[in-house]
Structure 1
């Protein structure tokens, strides 16, 4: 990988807030056995606090770890029980309903093979499907679809990738051409994002850096839209800011579902939502994280609604580059971590269960004595969905889709 490619990937990771990318000829995938599966991958950029999203309320060390910021069953508001050990953040009643209806599964203590804490490298590993960052410029989802096309189960003639947003995420880059659609509603870039872009351009494109800095200064002279900068790292998402985020998440996800639901439309797609880097004032049952989770919950509701009858053959995978620290930091947030959660939803799932080999929360049980230890390889989960839902051959998953993953066994029984 060249330095230029790596820098371009960083810029695209910063800008790729919401996007849908979908292969258009998937209806031919499973007609032989009477199926018409859909799959949507949602990437949460910024690293999700899995412990803040799904609390291990049955772990005796939970309260001691998080104190009064620990989600609990008798909290105000109370966490939503999933089983005897885990409870869901109360901001996600729709996901809880799907879980109870056996249309959602939650995977806890999961991570990719990446063990450092760089957003850009973590997202690269997550979306490329390769164990080290910067190894390839294609994504695992695109490679999976290309293999389906090459063995005759998908007609490659006229196939295309549909994009909602302005930047193609790595997970869908590959041989399929791209069409783009930009939502009418777009979230403004946060001060943090602008600062990181400015720093990047100062090292790679000085002319663009000058133009960007001038634009930032000009905007600062006018009325501030800080409350609307809902993607700010660490900035509380409240009032009109979070209202805009909820509307954007629902609009983008709803658009994705409408495309996927069309009889002659795409069958597989991916989209991303930024803003999950909660270093400051994260909150728990209320606050920044709860607001984001509520927006995500609304996005899942929009997908279910707009999929219509196709929901019964749909699987949605919500993933992130890594987790966050097990302990709260000095600014009431969490720092970059390791283990986290993945949410699966859809009528095609055999849901209503937790998938977790729980590692424990004692200091010696934490990864490097600071993070939730990952015990489930996220590639195992994704392999299970691709094999059993989209019918990608297991040998192809190990050799081409997730190279070097022969020892990573696909998770069985995720779909009905």
Structure 2
């Protein structure tokens, strides 16, 4: 466990306000419940994380990358209910599911229906229902409803404060101080964008040491470093949120989910980090786990059919995960539209039948205790037509 003493030493340069600050800075919290939001940037393929392996349309649409229960626990889907199965990299989470501390909401998405990472992420974070419709984040606005002005309840893990936590409410930050590095998805997009520019490609090749337009990018994969940072962030998050006078709401991020190619190889590692991170949070929060909800989301899902590169392209319906001792888990929640041709969104994507905004409102109201009127006027303005999801919490 990453100790508080080590944490304070690593943040001595001012990255995070010390927990030993004045008593005024850490007055009694308005809620003792904890919330951790994990943002998987890039568009997680929910049909790979939670595979409807028993659906014949799933096998038809994904003949190569689709998961099969018969493939074994080290390669296939681990059945949860005979229809849905966990990706094998998420196998360590099955005990949480069986203990009622984990649930999945497939076919979940925000109201965004186009397929731009930038617009989709911005809409998810600003909470206005429109890309760039607000300059602050909905979770920051929610903190204003909890905070009486003398307590920094929010915590951002990473090199910068994400939009979802930006706003009038002051938040704490933590980073391991390592400079962020670009990942293989970004480098691939640069390569494709400037394919016709020999001068740029030569410079990019010199800078990376090996990159050429049609060369494998295996040697440039930054996933291990991202994973190490993510697990360290999970340990720090747990350590601080478990503290009696620490923050109560944290946001963690993990990139690399834009799997247009080699999806199984890449998601095998990334989903493994998510599983490890959730277990780190459970262990580190210890006695506070019973009052904790961990929410895992991504800006959108992927196409239902695989592409020719053994990957998937930008889609619509995705997935949400809820974990924690406060969660009424052990089940698949929400409405499942199926994968038949008539059920698909625009004949290509999983239809989004479960609104992220309904999930977020439920978390804020049922778990953190915010007033419905405040949530629907200040946090998610104009969302009164979307009812909070019922029955998600103990």
| Normalised TM-score (structure 1) | 0.80
1:220 aligns with 2:206: yes
- In structure 2, the gaps of 5 or more residues are 1-14, 20-24, 194-199
Structure 1: which 5+ runs fail to align? 1-18, 31-35, 150-154, 201-212, 227-233
Residue 38 of structure 1 contacts residue 260 of structure 1 at CA under 8 Å; is this kept in 2?
Answer: yes
| Structure 2 equivalent of residue 120 of structure 1 | 118
From 174, 178, 181, the equivalent of 2:167 is 174
Q: CA deviation at 1:339?
A: 0.3
Q: Answer yes or no: is 1:249 the counterpart of 2:230.
A: yes
Cα deviations by residue, 1:229-262 (Å, 9 ceiling, x for unpaired): xxxxx97779985443332221111111111111
1:107 paired residue number: 105
Does the 8 A contact of 1:187 with 1:245 survive in 2? no
Other-structure match for 2:393: 415
Secondary structure (helix, strand or coil) at the match of 2:89 reads coil
The alpha carbon displacement at 1:184 in A equals 5.0
> How far apart in 2 are the matches of 1:378 and 1:303?
23
Q: Kindly indicate whether the alpha-carbon contact (under 8 Å) linking 1:185 and 1:248 is maintained by their aligned counterparts in 2.
A: no
Q: Paired residue for 2:258?
A: 277
Matches within 5 A, 1:185-264: 188-190=181-183, 192-193=185-186, 217=203, 220=206, 241-264=222-245
Match of 1:47 among 27, 32, 43: 43
Task: Report the counterpart of residue 163 of structure 1 in structure 2.
Answer: 156
Give SS of 1:270's match: strand
Q: CA RMSD in A?
A: 3.1
User: Residue 62 of structure 1: CA displacement?
Assistant: 1.6
1:2-401 equivalences in 2 (<5 Å): 28-30=29-31, 36-76=32-72, 77-149=75-147, 155-159=148-152, 161-184=154-177, 188-190=181-183, 192-193=185-186, 217=203, 220=206, 241-283=222-264, 287-401=265-379
Shift of residue 373, structure 1, vs aligned partner: 0.3
Q: Deviations over 1:132-163 (max 9, x none)?
A: 101111111111111223xxxxx312436443
Displacement of 1:313 in angstroms is 0.8
Cα distance between partner residues in 2 of 1:400 and 1:133? 17
C-alpha distance 389-197 of structure 1, shift in aligned 2 (>3 A): farther
Query: Alpha-carbon deviations, 1:18-57, whole Å to 9, x = none?
Result: x999x98695224xxxxx2000101110001010110112
Residues 1:303 and 1:185: Cα distance change in structure 2 (over 3 Å): farther
Is 1:406 matched with 2:384? yes
In the alignment, the residues of structure 1 paired with residue 16 and residue 189 of structure 2 have an alpha-carbon distance, to the nearest angstrom, of 24
Q: Size of the alignment, in residue pairs?
A: 363
Q: CA deviation at 1:290?
A: 1.5
